[in-house]
Amino acid sequence: MPSKLERIGIYLSRDEKKAIKKNAKKYGLTVSKFLTFAGSRDRNEPPTTAEERKIIFDLNYQIEKAGNNLNQVAKAVNVSRIADTQPPTQQRIEEAVTALTAVLKKLDSLF
């Protein structure tokens, strides 16, 4: 069960309030959630924006797809050994590796 919420009152200048509202909106958070996040962090690390969360979600999806492709290649190689058939072509393996490398480069460029 969540703990009981408590209220804190603060005094701000008009400009401070405006800046807080602007930043909360930028990160897709309510003012309360933004202040809670900002005040309870050990580091000065801003929360991710809604756009950044979407990018991370999309990259995660692409990584999963690339991982599935690599798993399919690995399975095909293993099955071909058992069934004494032809393993995947070098081109198929390179395509899977290229797709995964592209996704990892995109992810690396964000951080």
Whether residue 65 is predicted with pLDDT greater than 70 in this model: the reply is yes
**Residue 41, pLDDT score:** 67
CA dist 11 and 64 (Å) reads 47
Res 70: pLDDT: 81
Average pLDDT of every residue of the chain: 78
State how far Cα 61 lies from the chain centre.
9
Q: Residue 2: what pLDDT? A: 63
pLDDT score recorded for residue 82: 64
pLDDT at 15: 93
pLDDT band per the 50, 70, 90 thresholds, residue 60? confident
What's the angle, vertex CA 17, arms to CA 16 and CA 20, rounded to 5?
85
More confident residue, 85 or 66: 66
Q: Please give the model's pTM, rounded to 2 decimal places.
A: 0.41
